[in-house]
């Protein structure tokens, strides 16, 4: 093969990577958080960047124990390279660079899986349609564990697929193990389905018995011997970096293993009837696969039907995809208490590949026609529903969960709504014209959905030409602007746990105000009337509140900061109910202010896009 031919072979992949990067950057400069978890990751990354402590992820000076550290480790180098002295939108873009790169890596792995299983054409179309799928785009815009985890496990699946197809070299196995280790460093042992899927596919490779159970029993010992190195590397090296971090980071007051186990227990605890819970989960993820994985999802029914119809004997090489997906589904349906789009994210690359292949290669028989018609009806119906809902409510979704009002009807809302109706009409027309031309049909579907995104982001919340946030100012931004007007040095910022829970982005938006007052952290404390009453007279009482709440609190950065600093003023950030309790029970507030008017109300949209009101109290020094 000549160099020129080799270059031509890699040209689709190079073009895909460039396009994926540019598309992934679209919308990332938006100066707001897309959901309630993202500000926790970004604030923890900023604190790691500021402190230089890579072992102990912190949120407001207290250990953030819910997740392993890889998302923060990926964000800190970007902050070191570009710095953190930027406007909100630019700084958010910098911290989201790991999410952008993870999206590109996932799309690249999808292309390689499709090319290896079927053809370069399948791989390219599957990767492009995955890239523009709303679920993948929205989840891929946030610095969170999920998109990084998806990239890691998709690459692990690709390397295990190569091994299943005969590439048993040590370099390939190390590639799978390294990708697996990144996944474990992002979500712990929940990143092991690619290894489990590969082993299950190997166990059932030859099917010496008709029964799956008998095949499993008969093949277990030979397969485990044959794959002993794979298992050893997967468990020891795959989980080794995670265990090493746990061992290195554990210290008094910072038991990250206990924290992650507690978080896992909370997210997997089921209430009520388990049968109804499982049925509800199955329904949710079916809706995720068929409706939200637009526009491919509705055709996934045909791909799944095709796999079930012909059985595993015809699709031996696809068994690893099938079993890996099954293990993901088992985790999502039977383990996680929460039902969220992010839990389905690792399945989308695999589903994209098999669905595109079905559309391209399936025999045009009666069953295909029925499923094809059904799929297009669902696509058109979904597009029409979205456009109608936007026109009826005047709101648009920002994260597939929450809706926000659109500022301008004629220039923002109407063009987006019309585009959804146009997509519905175009898909029906294309389905009729290109029933036997799947390449043309998929190309039109891709271009139609791609054309919607500029109109969507034009209607979504943003900064206008007057540098004001539309449609509703964020409560955190309002707070930051107000505090700057009445700020003095040596000030301790204190927020109740409840207010921080509903507004985790406050730390990010207040960072400039806190730094300008020689502060370092937004102290998050459990609200207690008596203790807050004492803290009004002496801000250092917050040390005792921390010690009562957190064992070994004296080892945390927040406690050390409060202990070593001298404060002449404090700023309390409370909900309306908390402030009312404080006024009713405080013996000092009336003496200081004379009336409740000293508390300043702050209004705006919180990180969940709900309208909220809380109060800021500037406490005078004594």
Give me the long-range contacts of 423-431 (CB less than 8 A, separation at least 24): 423/383, 423/448, 423/449, 423/452, 424/379, 424/380, 424/381, 424/383, 424/384, 424/387, 425/380, 427/295, 427/376, 427/379, 427/380, 427/383, 428/376, 428/380, 431/372, 431/373, 431/376
135 close to 348: Cβ distance less than 8 angstroms: yes
CA distance 77 to 151: 19
The per-residue pLDDT for range 96-115, each reduced to its tens digit, is: 999 999 999 999 999 999 99
CA distance 36 to 13: 35
Nearest in space to 216 (alpha carbons), one of 231, 202, 203:
203
30: left (phi over 0), alpha (psi -120 to 50) or beta: beta
Could you tell me the CA-to-CA distances from 582 to 396, 527, 529, 579 in Å, in that order? 38, 10, 6, 5
Nearest in space to 455 (alpha carbons), one of 492, 418, 507:
418
Q: What is the 3-state secondary structure (H, E, C) of 58-98?
A: EECCEECCCCCCHHHHHHHHHHHHHCCCCCHHHHHHHHCHH
Nearest in space to 398 (alpha carbons), one of 325, 471, 323:
471
- Cα angle vertex 319, ends 314, 321, to 5°? 130
Backbone angles phi, psi at 436, to 5 degrees: -105, 15
Q: Which helix (H) or strand (E) holds 189?
A: none
Q: What is the pTM of this model?
A: 0.93
Strand partners, 619: 570
Q: Where are the chain's structural domains?
A: 7-262+274-362, 386-460, 473-512+523-590
Tokens at residue 523, please? 């102290």
Characterize the bridge pairing of strands 569-575 and 491-496: parallel
CA distance 577 to 592: 20
User: How high is the pLDDT of residue 378?
Assistant: 93
User: How high is the pLDDT of residue 596?
Assistant: 44
Q: How many CB atoms lie within 10 A of CB 497?
A: 12
- For the chain (length 622 residues), average pLDDT per consecutive 10? 64 94 92 90 94 91 90 96 88 95 98 94 96 94 95 97 92 96 93 92 72 71 88 92 92 79 74 75 81 87 78 65 88 76 91 94 90 92 94 90 86 94 95 93 95 93 78 86 72 86 88 72 84 73 82 85 80 86 70 58 87 81 44
CA distance 523 to 500: 10
CA distance 270 to 265: 10
The per-residue pLDDT for range 279-302, each reduced to its tens digit, is: 777 788 888 888 888 888 889 888
526 close to 545: Cβ distance less than 8 angstroms: yes
User: CB-based burial of residue 202 (10 Å sphere; 0-12 exposed, 13-18 middle, 19+ buried)?
Assistant: buried
CA distance 412 to 219: 60
Counted residue by residue, the chain has a size of 622
User: How high is the pLDDT of residue 232?
Assistant: 93
CA distance 453 to 442: 17
CA distance 220 to 233: 19
| Residues whose CB falls within 8 Å of the CB of residue 348, separated by 6 or more in sequence, listed in order | 130, 133, 135, 136, 150, 293
121 close to 155: Cβ distance less than 8 angstroms: no
Helices (H), 227-273: 228-232, 238-249, 256-268
């Amino acid at each position: 093969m000549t160099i020129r031919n080799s270059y031509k072979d890699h040209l689709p992949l190079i073009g895909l990577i460039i396009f994926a990067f540019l598309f992934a950057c679209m919308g990332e400069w938006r100066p707001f958080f897309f959901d309630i978890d993202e500000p926790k990751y970004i604030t923890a990354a900023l604190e790691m960047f500021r402190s230089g402590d890579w072992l102990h992820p912190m949120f407001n000076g207290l250990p953030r124990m819910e997740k392993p550290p890889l998302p923060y480790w990926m964000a800190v180098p970007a902050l070191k390279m570009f710095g953190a002295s930027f406007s909100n939108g630019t700084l958010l873009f910098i911290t989201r660079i790991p999410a952008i790169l993870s999206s590109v890596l996932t799309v690249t792995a999808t292309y390689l899986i499709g090319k290896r299983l079927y053809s370069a054409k399948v791989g390219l179309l599957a990767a492009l349609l995955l890239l523009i799928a709303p679920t993948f785009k929205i989840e891929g815009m946030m610095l969170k564990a999920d998109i990084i985890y998806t990239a890691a496990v998709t690459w692990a699946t690709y390397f295990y697929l190569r091994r299943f197809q005969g590439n048993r070299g040590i370099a390939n196995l190390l590639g799978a193990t390294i990708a697996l280790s990144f996944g474990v460093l992002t979500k712990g042992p929940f990143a092991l389905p690619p290894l489990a899927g590969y082993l299950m596919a190997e166990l059932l490779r030859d099917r010496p018995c008709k029964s799956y159970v008998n095949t499993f029993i008969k093949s277990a010992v030979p397969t485990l011997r044959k794959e002993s190195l794979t298992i050893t590397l997967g468990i020891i090296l795959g989980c080794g970096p995670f265990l090493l971090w746990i061992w290195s980071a554990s210290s008094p007051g910072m038991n990250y293993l206990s924290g992650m186990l507690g978080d896992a227990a909370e997210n997997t605890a089921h209430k009520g009837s388990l049968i109804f819970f499982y049925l509800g989960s199955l329904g949710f993820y079916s809706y995720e696969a068929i409706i939200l994985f637009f526009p491919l999802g509705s055709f996934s029914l045909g791909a799944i039907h095709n796999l079930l119809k012909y059985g595993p004997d015809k699709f031996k090489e696809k068994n690893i995809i099938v079993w890996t997906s099954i293990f993901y589904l088992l985790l999502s349906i039977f383990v996680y208490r929460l039902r969220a789009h992010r839990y389905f994210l690792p399945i989308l690359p695999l589903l994209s590949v098999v669905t595109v292949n079905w559309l391209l290669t399936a025999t045009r028989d009666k069953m295909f026609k029925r499923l094809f018609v059904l799929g297009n009806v669902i696509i058109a119906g979904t597009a029409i529903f979205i456009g109608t809902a936007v026109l009826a409510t005047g709101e648009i979704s920002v994260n597939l969960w929450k809706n926000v009002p659109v500022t301008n009807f004629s220039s923002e809302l109407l063009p987006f709504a019309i585009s959804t109706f146009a997509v519905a009409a175009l898909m029906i027309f294309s389905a009729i014209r290109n029933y036997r031309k799947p390449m043309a049909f998929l190309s039109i579907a891709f271009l139609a959905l791609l054309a919607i995104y500029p109109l969507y982001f034009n209607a979504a919340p943003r900064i206008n030409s007057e540098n004001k946030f539309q449609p509703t100012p964020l409560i955190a931004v309002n707070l930051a602007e107000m505090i700057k007007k009445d700020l003095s040095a040596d000030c301790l910022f204190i927020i109740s746990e409840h207010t921080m829970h509903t507004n985790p982005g406050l730390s990010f938006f207040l960072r400039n105000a806190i730094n300008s007052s020689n502060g370092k952290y937004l102290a998050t404390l459990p609200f207690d009337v008596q203790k807050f009453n004492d803290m009004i007279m002496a801000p250092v009482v917050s040390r005792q509140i921390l010690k009562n709440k957190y064992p070994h609190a004296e080892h945390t950065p927040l406690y050390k900061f409060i202990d070593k600093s001298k404060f002449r003023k404090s700023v309390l950030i409370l909900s309306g109910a908390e402030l009312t309790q404080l006024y009713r029970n405080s013996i000092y507030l009336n003496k200081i202010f004379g009336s409740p008017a000293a508390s300043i109300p702050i209004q705006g949209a919180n990180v969940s896009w709900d309208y909220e009101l809380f109060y800021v109290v500037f406490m005078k020094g004594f």
